[in-house]
Structure 1
């Protein structure tokens, strides 16, 4: 790691990287939920018309 960061900075950087990885793992599931929701809304609008 960069010496200018120091131990605390390195720890924060590692935490940020771990959080980024966790977010990426969550996204596929969220995308599926949003897609299903969009399809349900589309179907409801079609049924109304």
Structure 2
């Protein structure tokens, strides 16, 4: 999920959300690992925001 969507506002949905999701998918495909796998979900949200 793109960071701008974490507050639940659908007004911030744009092509940037798709670019973020594509980047995460490419990371997983190319490295075989999840990005931020060693972080707690609260820490991930804090880092992204």
TM over 0.5: no
TM-score bracket for this pair, using the shorter chain length? 0.3 to 0.5
Higher relative contact order, structure no. (Cα contacts within 8 Å, ≥ 6 residues apart): 2
Which has the higher Rg, Structure 1 or Structure 2? 1
TM-score, length-scaled by structure 1: 0.37
Which of the two has greater helix per residue? 1
